[in-house]
């Protein structure tokens, strides 16, 4: 199990909740949702079930809070640097994305593959992450309102990135740098697909 949370008597209410969420991210990074009980989580945190329920009404609520916090951190870590050229922004963003997936493998898989069954809120968090990634790529192309062809192409590429990262986590038989390069080139192919779908689409060369 994970390292126990620091003594709660020294933490205020907000700090206690944040500390529990940090622990949850550690736990769900190495254990599937169904493999952990409320008792397991409370024991790892060195707290009572009652205290855990004080902050999170159920294990599902705890998990959703953990997933949301992880998604927020992921958005921050992969945020593009506006001082860099678009291709360098893309490269660094993909590196950070794969680095995050590598260090939070089980939790990353759980979010992308459905999390708590068909939980709508978990799925919404994953969809929000996808929307952010699509928006970043569209912005890097200098497009305010993407036409349908471009939207379809970029969303398809985001799905490719997720599928490739899951395979990479499972097998680790290609290097991260090679995968980053392949995904960058795949984005160029996706933009070309958009041009095929809409011959009048005007975009810079990918």
**Tell me, what's the pLDDT at 143?**
87
Q: Tell me whether residue 205 is in a domain.
A: no
Q: Residue 50's pLDDT is what?
A: 94
CATH number, position 187: 1.10.357.10
Query: Domain containing 33 — which CATH number?
Result: 1.10.10.60
- Residue range(s) defining the domain that contains residue 13: 8-57
* Same domain assignment for residues 175 and 123: yes
Calculate the dihedral angle through the C-alpha atoms of 6, 12, 17, 20, rounding to the nearest 10 degrees: 0
Stretch among 38-47, 65-74, 181-190 having the lowest mean pLDDT: 65-74
Is residue 70 located within the same domain as residue 53? no
- 154 lies in the same domain as 71: yes
> Does a structural domain hold residue 203?
no
Residue 8 confidence class, pLDDT cut points 50, 70, 90: very low
Is residue 124 in some structural domain? yes
* 51 and 76 co-located in one domain: no
Q: Tens of pLDDT along 124-178?
A: 988 999 999 999 999 888 888 899 999 999 999 999 999 999 999 999 999 999 9
- Give domain status of residue 160, yes or no: yes
Residue 10 has pLDDT above 80, yes or no: no
3-state secondary structure of 85: coil
Co-location of 84 and 158 in the same domain: yes
* 104 plus 176 within the same structural domain: yes
Higher-confidence residue: 206 or 12? 12
End-to-end CA distance of the chain: 46
Summarize pLDDT for 66-120 with one digit per residue, the tens.
Answer: 989 888 888 888 899 989 998 999 999 999 999 988 988 777 776 776 555 567 8
DSSP 201: -
Q: CA of 27: how far to CAs of 4, 21, 23, 24, 39, in Å?
A: 11, 10, 6, 5, 13
Q: Are residues 90 and 169 in the same domain?
A: yes
How many domains does one find in the chain? Answer: 2
Q: Is residue 202 part of a domain?
A: no
Same domain flag for 94 and 175: yes
Chain mean position to CA 200: 34
Question: Concatenated DSSP letters for 7-70?
Answer: PGGGS-HHHHHHHHHHHHHHHHHHS-GGG--HHHHHHHHTS-HHHHHHH-SSHHHHHHHHHHHH
The pLDDT, as a whole number, for residue 177 is 95
The confidence band for 4, taking pLDDT boundaries of 50, 70 and 90, is low
Task: Band the pLDDT of 48: cuts 50, 70, 90.
Answer: very high
Instruction: Collect contacts of 138-143 with beta carbons under 8 A, ≥24 apart.
Output: 140/80, 140/86, 140/89, 140/90, 141/86, 141/191, 141/203, 141/204, 142/204, 143/203
pLDDT category at 29 given cuts 50, 70, 90 is confident
Same domain, 88 and 165: yes
Q: Give the residue among 66, 60, 22 at the shortest CA–CA distance from 44.
A: 22
Q: Which of 16, 33, 57 is at the close of a domain?
A: 57
Q: Are residues 97 and 171 in the same domain?
A: yes
Same-domain status, 71 and 52:
no
């Amino acid at each position: 199990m994970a390292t126990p949370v620091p003594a709660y008597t020294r933490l205020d209410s907000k700090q206690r909740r944040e500390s529990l969420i940090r622990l949850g991210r550690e736990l769900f990074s190495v254990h599937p949702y169904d493999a952990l009980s409320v008792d397991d989580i409370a024991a790892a945190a060195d707290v009572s079930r009652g205290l855990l329920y004080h902050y999170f009404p159920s294990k599902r609520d705890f998990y959703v809070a953990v997933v949301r916090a992880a998604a927020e951190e992921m958005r921050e870590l992969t945020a593009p640097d506006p001082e860099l050229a678009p291709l360098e922004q893309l490269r660094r963003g993909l590196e950070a994305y794969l680095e995050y997936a590598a260090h939070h493998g089980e939790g990353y898989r759980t979010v992308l593959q459905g999390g708590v069954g068909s939980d709508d809120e978990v799925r919404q968090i994953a969809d929000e992450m996808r929307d952010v990634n699509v928006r970043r790529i569209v912005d890097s192309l200098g497009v305010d309102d993407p036409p349908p062809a471009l939207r379809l192409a970029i969303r398809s590429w985001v799905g490719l990135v997720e599928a490739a990262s899951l395979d990479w986590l499972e097998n680790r038989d290609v290097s991260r740098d090679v995968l980053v390069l392949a995904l960058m080139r795949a984005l160029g192919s996706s933009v070309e697909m958009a041009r095929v779908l809409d011959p009048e689409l005007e975009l810079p060369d990918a």
